[in-house]
Structure 1
Amino acid sequence: MGILALKEDRPTPPCVYNFRIYFCAAVAAFCAVMIGYDSAFIGGTLALTSFKNEFNWDSYSVQQQDLISENIVSVYQAGAFFGSFFAYPAGHYMGRKQGLQLFSLVFLVGAALMLGTKASTGLGLMYAGRTLAGIGIGGASNLTPIYISELSPPAIRGRLVGLYELGWQLGGLVGFWINYGVSTTLPENHTQWIIPFAIQLIPAGLMFVGLFFIKESPRWLMSRGRRQEALKNLCWIRKLDQNEMYMLEEVSAIDAAIEQQASTVGLGFWQPFKALGNDRKVQYRFFLGCSLFFWQNGSGINAINYYSPTVFKQIGVTGTNTSLLTTGVFGIVKTVMTLIWLFFLIDNLGRRNLLMYGAFGGAFCLFYVGAYIKVADPSAHPSTSLSSGGISAMVFFYIWAMFYTPSWNGTPWVINSEMFPQNVRTLGQAFAAASNWLFNFLVARFTPQMFTAMGYGVFFFFACLMLCSIVFVWFLIPETKGIPLESMDRLFAREMPPHKAHRLLMRELMDDEEAFRANVKGSGINLDKDERAEQVEKV
């Protein structure tokens, strides 16, 4: 098998991998462009002299400056934390598509409020706007991976959900270079620092408009009893007639999963909460989903994203423009590696291997960077240019990005989008997304104090956490690539060790598929196409 060969759970018509599925996924993934852009631009914009001059930065003590910066950054994460939970009722009652429309609209309102911020009005509108934008982003970050996962054929599910991560990196790349552009080409005035805030409206507006041209999740429609609409949407997405064998198998699996959930957990709004309280298997998957984002933030990525000028200053990079340029190159490295991850790695190398390889390589790089800062102490020996040791530290920093980006950056979102049963999927993703934003908030809120108190020790701290994550993945996370959503319960069964579960289940699925086709043929379905739907019910 070549590197681009797909691992299919059953024979799949080529037309299933069509433009429509990629279009729906790309539109939903635009919320990640907004997230990535914010994580990239906010730290650099707050570092601009024009922003500091407008709000009398020099009149504050260093501690007060740190506090204001932390508050501006972190209220966004706080809003996103609550938005993740608001997405559960929105996703349950409104659906994935309308829920995304609601949260993209909330983001647009928040972004518009930020544009009213100026010296005469103070930072109140900034705080309010970033909180609202955070709520919008939190809700969208819950629903987007679920929506894409529910639409995706198993063999390319990682790739499609990976568009969410690609959007994140593209937004980050634009954010990094927008800061560099305004800092080098515009005079130091109000316009210079407000332009990066205004650009947030572009991806949010594109997403809001694009959502009117995509289809609602057929799996959600089926769970709400809207069967005909679900079948119509599924046929459009797959470009197949509903009587085709592939469609019969998929609909049969969805029906069986919904029936099983209705007879056990139930399909109501409060039923997932009861399942979470009573079912240890469900609790276990909630624990795994939330833990993945603890380890993701334990890599140090958000400390670097939100406070990149501070990080590069530790290495010895001086000057605002130089820091922004260095950060821009960091964004390019991450975007290129995301493309490699998306097209070559996630659906071939698998989720488990990526997480473990990335953590090991990333930890080694962070240990090197921390050791350089300890030995060379660049802050005590300021220079207008990097030494050879400083250059090597920057190289290892970029190599760290090459390990981290195709592993811990997007893979936890992929796993969380696919590992929960249908009726607890939105709630499970709500908890997972909320845990991401909670850890994100803590990092954004306390990173400056960490660097002040720990110095080079911050890099050692994150490196040690990356090593610990390898143990977590090896013993607890099974491989999910190529597994249909309706078979995830079997994958996470306790009796199968995580490192063996995928291989054993794929073998069982192939046997099941052969038995299903034999039963269909034995029922005479192939002899009369008009009666296939009725006959498959009997099978």
Structure 2
Amino acid sequence: MARLARVEDRPTPPEVYNWKVYFNAIIATWAAVMIGYDSAFIGTSISLASFKSEFGLTTKSTTDFNFISANIVSVFQAGCFFGAFFGYLTGYFLGRKYGLLLSSAIFILGAGLQCGANSSTGLGIMYAGRIIVGFGIGIASNLAPIYVAEIAPPAIRGRLIGMYELCWQIGGVVGFWINYGVTEHIPASHKQWFIAFAVQLIPGAFLFIGSFFLVESPRWLVSRDRNADAIKNLAKLRNLPEDAPYVVEEYTEIEAAIAHERGLAGAGFFGPMKTVFASKTLRYRVLLGSSLFVWQNGTGINAINYYSPTIFKSIGITGGNTSLLTTGVYGIIKLVGALVWLLYLVDTFGRRGVLLIGSIGGAISMYYIGAYIAIAKPAQHPTTKLSSGGQSAIAFFYIWTIFYGPTWNGTPWVVGAEMFPQHVRTFTQACQAASNWFWGFIITRFTPQMFTSMGYGVYIFFATLMVVSVPFIYFILPETKQVPLERMEELFAPGVKPWKAHDIVMARVHETRQLRNEGKDSPSSTSFEKNRNERAEAV
């Protein structure tokens, strides 16, 4: 299929694109199913009458209920924030494979605690479970994208990392529909809300069991001086013999890059931290990658994910089941958008293009919804049937989803996993993941209060942030599509304009490959070492 054609950085044997690399990527990205399910089910679960009755929330005022619901949602994000940094510790000492195993075990413990909450225990055990689940997910959100980026061939790296986003949306669809299903088929009771919480255990168990079958990252093994294991695992992932030219060339590049980068960072746990803080360009990249999650949360996505009943009520939708059904449709649109992004957009249009389109289309949609609410004031005129204006607002909400799903949903994770060298990548990924969870915490903690005090201004606020992100993306973010991980630093070399950096670096990559194929260059040649030294000076 033409749309699934790969753009290769070098002549690549067909064996490289084999089931093993996809199998390992799928196992790791099941971490995202856990995240997606939680982001979708919790907001609608705590709005169920059965949940409110169980924990004595039916007598609470709107202000008190908003406070409690914001706490239930946001303590998860707080746990994710600290878990993301702990992911650096586990990634360094345990590696990607056993780090993901640990994260899933922690997640299962937290999910079990949530299932144990009831009217007798109160919400205390629920809060504890939410924090522990978040801690496990924080670790996984650090390690899963790194692992996939490190095992993926360059031509399908974006596609494989994009599977993380696809799994996120699969979990989200199940989470958005689960409460609609239980309200339709199960009477209001402890069992009704319990089922939604118990389903968390399924993706957690899948990742836990699957982690035993993961092939450890060759790049991490080289960084721990386990070179024999590294080339063995690389050959296994590429489905080629250890002495195959492609395997030897890729392994040599990994070994040379890590040896060179280790000389820059120094050995030990704190070496990557010192390197990042001592390097102006690496500090800049950390701020750049982290800022993408500011803009991602600035689209309003977490406000919608966690408080969808509030969102649809503000537009004029009444009735619990109607709101849940509308939320479920939203989840399906997001999933379809993720599929389009994964199979076509991310490795065709690149990262910058999809982000720009997502911001522009999303801003227009949000401005329309805000204008409708400001003029029609649907909350002050409740009806059992939406007006034509209300229907158009819902249409623009779905249009916003169409723009967001294939753009901002997963692209920041791809860029954050790509743009750093191996010797600091686990630490920098911790920073990226922590930024996502920090800003997610801010949004989820204060969204109920924002709707109370700002009304339609919430939509104007998010729309304006999307507009501001456009010049940021165009003038500051370089394109990372198809750039080998070992040459990412060249995108940030002094004097290189971000909007021109990709063309410049890829021209150098093709020139190097051509010279090497002609026998005029090799990884051990003077020219190769000179290029590496020049790139090191840029760092």
Task: Name the stretch that deviates more: 493-502 or 321-330.
Answer: 493-502
SS of residue matched to 1:337: helix
> 1:4: how far off?
2.7
Asked if 1:423 corresponds to 2:423, the answer is: yes
Q: Secondary structure at the match of 1:312?
A: helix
CA distance in 2, matches of 1:253, 1:84: 29
Q: Is 1:194 equivalent to 2:194 in the alignment?
A: yes
Matches within 5 A, 1:56-455: 56-455=56-455
CA displacement at 1:397 relative to structure 2: 0.5
User: Which residue of the partner structure matches residue 518 of structure 1?
Assistant: 518
Q: Secondary structure at the match of 1:273?
A: helix
State the match for 1:526 in structure 2. none
Measured against aligned partners, the alpha-carbon deviations of 1:50-83 in whole angstroms (never above 9, x if no partner) come to 1111122233222211111111111100000000
1:412-460 residue CA offsets vs partner (Å, 9 max, x unmatched): 0000011111011000000110010000001110000001111111111
Report the Cα distance in structure 2 between the residues aligned to 1:472 and 1:362, rounded to whole angstroms. 16
How has the CA–CA distance of structure 1 residues 342 and 522 changed in structure 2, closer, same or farther, with 3 Å as cutoff? closer
| AA at the equivalent of 2:347 | D
Taking the aligned partners of 1:312 and 1:399, their CA distance within structure 2 comes to 15
Q: Map Cα deviations across residues 352-380 of structure 1 (whole Å, 9 max, x no partner).
A: 00000111011001111111111111001
User: Alignment partner of 1:407: what SS?
Assistant: coil
User: How many Å separate the matches in 2 of 1:351 and 1:74?
Assistant: 29
Give the C-alpha shift of residue 521 in structure 1: 9.5
Q: Distance in 1 between matches of 2:519 and 2:267?
A: 30
* d(CA) in 1 for partners of 2:61, 2:358: 40
Tell me what 1:530 maps to: none
TM-score using structure 1 length: 0.95
Say if 1:24 and 1:215, in contact at 8 Å, map to a contact too.
Answer: yes
TM value normalised by structure 2: 0.95
Of residues 4-13 and 44-53 in structure 1, the stretch that sits farther from structure 2 once superposed is: 4-13
User: What does 1:2-41 correspond to in 2, within 5 Å?
Assistant: 2-41=2-41
2:315 touches 2:378 (CA, 8 Å); kept in 1?
yes
SS in 2 for 1:519: coil
Listed one character per residue, the Cα deviations across residues 490-524 of structure 1 (whole Å, up to 9, x for unaligned) are: 1221321111111111111111112223338999x
Report Cα offsets for 1:254-291 as digits up to 9, x if no partner. 12211211221224211111112211011011001110
User: Structure 1 522/202 Cα, relative in aligned 2: closer, same or farther at 3 Å?
Assistant: closer
Work out the CA distance in 1 between the residues paired with 2:521 and 2:171. 50
Change in CA separation of 1:407 and 1:521 when aligned onto 2, cut-off 3 Å = closer
Number of equivalenced pairs: 523
Residues 522 and 264 from structure 1, CA distance in 2 versus in 1: closer, same or farther, beyond 3 angstroms? closer
CA distance in structure 1 between the aligned counterparts of 2:152 and 2:520, rounded to whole angstroms: 24
Q: How many angstroms does 1:245 deviate by?
A: 2.1
Per-residue deviation, 1:244: 2.0
Q: Deviations over 1:381-412 (max 9, x none)?
A: 10001111111111111010010111111000
Rounded to whole Å, the distance in 1 between the matches of 2:110 and 2:391 is 40
Q: One-letter code of the match for 1:108?
A: I
User: The residue matched to 2:168 in structure 1 has which SS?
Assistant: helix
- Partner of 2:530 in structure 1? none
Contact preservation (8 Å) 2:515, 2:521: no
Distance 2:57 2:203 in 1: 31
Mark the CA change 1:234 to 1:45 in structure 2 (over 3 Å): closer, same or farther. same
* AA aligned opposite 1:503: D
Q: Percent identity?
A: 56
Matched, 1:489 2:525: no
SS of equivalent residue, structure 1 residue 179: helix
- What SS is found at the alignment partner of 1:408? coil
How far apart, CA to CA, are the structure 1 residues paired with 2:221 and 2:101? 17
- Counterpart code for 1:202: I
Q: Which residue type is aligned with residue 393 of structure 1?
A: A
Q: Is the 8 A contact 1:475 1:499 kept in 2?
A: yes
**TM-fit CA distance, 1:45:** 0.5
* Cα deviation digits, residues 155-207 of structure 1 (max 9, x gap): 11110000100011000000111110001111111000111000000011011
Q: After superposing the two structures, state which structure 1 stretch, 243-252 or 69-78, moved more.
A: 243-252
Q: Paired residue for 1:464? A: 464
Question: 1:519 & 1:143 partners in 2: Cα distance?
Answer: 38
8 Å contact from structure 1 (residues 103, 139) kept in 2: yes
Equivalent residues of 1:219, 1:254 under 8 A apart: yes
**For the residues of structure 1 that align with 2:223 and 2:515, how far apart are their CA atoms?**
26
1:528 alignment partner in structure 2? none
Distance 1:237 1:520 in 2: 29
Structure-2 separation of matches of 1:321 and 1:352: 39
Give, as a single letter, the amino acid of the residue that structure 2 aligns with 1:40: A
260-269 vs 111-120, greater mean Cα deviation:
260-269
Distance 1:223 1:146 in 2: 14
Distance 1:383 1:275 in 2: 60
| Partner Cα distance (1:256, 1:482) in 2 | 20
- Residues 274/387 of structure 1: CA separation in 2 closer, same or farther (3 Å cut): same
Q: Contact conserved, 1:267 with 1:423, CA < 8 A, in 2?
A: no
Please say if residues 290 and 435 of structure 1, whose CA atoms lie closer than 8 Å, have aligned partners that are also in contact.
Answer: yes
Q: 1:522 to 1:349 in 2, by over 3 A?
A: closer
CA distance in 1, matches of 2:482, 2:509: 10
Q: Which shows bigger deviation, 162-171 or 262-271?
A: 262-271
8 Å contact 1:261–1:267 — kept in the other structure?
no
- 1:214 shift after superposition: 1.6
Output the CA distance in 2 between the equivalents of 1:389 and 1:20: 51
**Cα shift readout 1:473-502 (whole Å, capped 9, x = no counterpart):** 111111111111101111221321111111
Q: Which amino acid aligns with 1:341?
A: W
| Stretch of structure 1 that moved more, 42-51 or 57-66 | 57-66
Does structure 1 retain, via aligned residues, the 8 Å contact 2:104–2:204? yes
| Cα distance in structure 1, aligned partners of 2:521 and 2:248 | 13
